Amino acid sequence: MASPGAAPGTFSSSLGAKASQPVITLVDPLAADGEAGHGASWTDASFGQQPPSPGIVPPSRPETPTTIHSAAQRGDLATIKSLIESGRATAQDRDEEGITPLHWASINAQLPVCVYLLDQGADVDALGGELVASPLQWAARSGHIYIIHLLLSRGADPLLKDAQGFNSLHLVTHSSAVMPLVYLLQQPAFGSHAESNDRDALPNKDEGIDAEDAQGHTALMWAAYQGDAISVELLILHGASLYTQDHLGLSPMHWAVVKGNRLCIRQLAVAGADMSMKQNEGKTPREMAIELKSLPSLEKALADAGYCADGSKRRGPLNPRNTKVAILLLPFFFLGLIFWTFSILPWYTGLLLAMAEFFCMHHIITRVLLDPQEAEFMQKSPYFLAIVSDSIAWVGIEWGVKLVRGTPGLAIWNLFFFIVFLLCSWNLLLAASMEPGYALQPQTETERRLLVEQLLEEYKLNGQNFCVICMCRRPLRSKHCKLCKRCVARHDHHCPWVSNCIGAENHRQFLVFIASLVVGIIIFLYLSYAYYAANLPADTLPVSSCILPASICAATSWDTFLFATSAWAALQLIWTIILLGAQLLQISRQMTTLEVSNLGRYGYMGGKGGSSMVTQSNFMAQRAAALGAAGSLAAAAGGHEDSDGDGVAGRGSHGAHGGHRGGKRCFLDVLCGASNCLLSVVGLDLYTRGKAGEGLKRASAAGNPFDKGVLANCKDFWTRGRELGVRYEELYDIPVGGFQSSSYASASAVRLPDDGPGGTGRRWSMWSGLKQGLGGRGSRARGEYEAVSDQA
């Protein structure tokens, strides 16, 4: 029984080692009393008791009289020093269960106490407790990254196994803590022995990333069973074997099916997991899924990854290269067909046939050429890029064939249109083909390990500063794009019209493309009007069924193809003008679309750094249990926003009203869904999703350390950061005192103490000023931009 009075969130020695190191028994999930359900009855039996979380342990009171062990639990460094210096205790003392003070300090994350005990000669690899575990293993089970770092730096052996066969990698995986797992995977002891994921390669069962516990389970199997998608992705990225089987013959894919987590199954399938592998009883993952009633999750996950239900890769009618070519060319053919349809049929029949033709094009591209079951298949394809580029092509053809020869008195306007047309086409090509500016990635494992060590020593190894997917340091103003699969520096948004992210390197090209597109459409419409005014025969009669003004009806009856092309071009002015205005406003305020959205959703331009822990199912379960134990279940039900701003609670609560929806409500839902889809296509959904629209109201009053006035902001945009003296791919902190414009820095360069002895001028002064912001005071300036996390 716990003694009362200890600080919350600590493990007490009165709970015993068994409370902090529970025995975990693993058996075949299909052999648990013959049950085939996917419920807690066999789940608990399959992997036994879940790894504990410190927050779930009841609060306890230190023992009386005070011992070095109870003082270590509380972090009472003064008492520990007094006991050791007076000779009443030593750093090697053990309690009645054989546990040292270092064990208790490690599991309670008492970093100063751990440092002092190690300095006093505590055995860093002392084994104690019922499970005969080391302090490193106790810290790993709780995910205390700074304790893990300290113990490893003092020579702790990460390959030691406890009585259950768990090493520190297994235990960190149990904790579902992402950053400790990232750090531990950089250790040479867990270097991959199956980097190519060759199923014939034999992993080392005692060391490395594929080390097995007493029942043959690897860390990847544990992560897959727990439903921790980020952990699964990290382990696969570092070369964990997909083909290792435990003593029951279960592979990581088998255990992912046991959990039924769609994300984990999809990641294993994308990595190349074999769906035909059989366990000792001859069951494949699919057969297990049928018995455990997780087949829908398995099939949906395989479909998301582009696989058939049997695990084979789905093949389209064309290879990937020819598929892209076909997608880029089909809209050109169908747009021409639609314009021609209007020219040969009355408007009321032509409109219906044109809609059918557009649907036919959409069906061929999205249902034949592309895989409609694959996740985000349209966003990954050049479909929208093809529509805008082929529309520009038809505008150019109509201008070259008709307008340039039919408006001889407007040579200057035709020349102007030609220049704008080339400018628009060229910048569209650049915006679509250029890299948007990616965050720098370590090139070798050594560089990656040194980066992680550096961030950890600076207390910056967290989601705001490190991307666990790219395994790189995250610059300020960057975002990890799930479509591009990279961290994009100065990320604005992922634009479907250019099939690319808009970032530090291609933002200028994108803006020129949008601006020239707007100007080009306006000139094209003016030239079309002049063409009709100059060439329309006076005796042209309007069609009797035309409901437009007589002059427009006469024009449509004379050259309907040009009129349809002009109407289609004019339609694009709606979203392009809105987008151009928003972009110009944001540039003048030194903000991106992402930052405006974050400002409304989170209150900070930088938003919430890092990946959402929603995909760590075991972490979320432990978090809910901890909140419940503290009487905070109401807070847990309030929802948790992921990286895309969709709350888990919000998704779950949607269905609560399903039984009360009438026909009118359903129609409104469909209408809202269609409008949201349209906003997403044109790139305006970031301003309307959630509370993102509030960001527009707060933009002028937001604390923006990058804002130096309209002129300086525009100069910085067009010079790729040279006005502020930064390279956005490597901007990791805000200088102390904020940024200065180049003109001010040049004038005050002689007064800067860090300037070189030769007075090297603006560039050196700005970089030296930037380096000052990388120190301890930089986080205060950064607090204006985003909430600085103290947790790793």
Alpha helices by DSSP H, 219-346 = 219-226, 229-237, 252-259, 262-271, 285-292, 295-304, 320-344
Residue 531 CA from chain centroid, whole number: 51
Q: By C-alpha distance, which of 201, 182, 199 is closest to 190?
A: 182
Backbone angles phi, psi at 136, to 5 degrees: -60, -40
Q: CB neighbours of 646 closer than 8 A, spacing ≥ 6?
A: none
Residue 94 CA from chain centroid, whole number: 46
Q: Are 598 and 695 in contact (CB under 8 A)?
A: yes
Question: Could you write out the three-class secondary structure of 610-678?
Answer: CCCHHHEHHHHHHHHHHHHHCCCHHHHCCCCECCCCCEHHHHHHHHHHHHHCCHHHHHHHHHHHHHHHH
Catalytic residue annotation: 495
Distance between CA atoms of 365 and 614, rounded to whole angstroms?
33
Q: Are 745 and 760 in contact (CB under 8 A)?
A: no
Tokens of 393: 């092509």
Q: Which residue has the tokens 């006991």?
A: 83
Task: Please work out, in degrees rounded to the nearest 5, the angle formed at the alpha carbon of residue 35 by the alpha carbons of 34 and 36.
Answer: 115
Residue 581 CA from chain centroid, whole number: 28
Alpha-carbon separation of residue 379 from 137, 177, 555 (angstroms)? 44, 31, 38
Residue type, 687: Y
Task: Please work out, in degrees rounded to the nearest 5, the angle formed at the alpha carbon of residue 749 by the alpha carbons of 743 and 754.
Answer: 135
Q: By C-alpha distance, which of 135, 95, 140 is closest to 118?
A: 135
Tokens of 462: 């967290």
Distance between CA atoms of 41 and 18, rounded to whole angstroms?
23
**Can the peptide bond before residue 135 be classed as cis, meaning omega within 30 degrees of 0?**
no
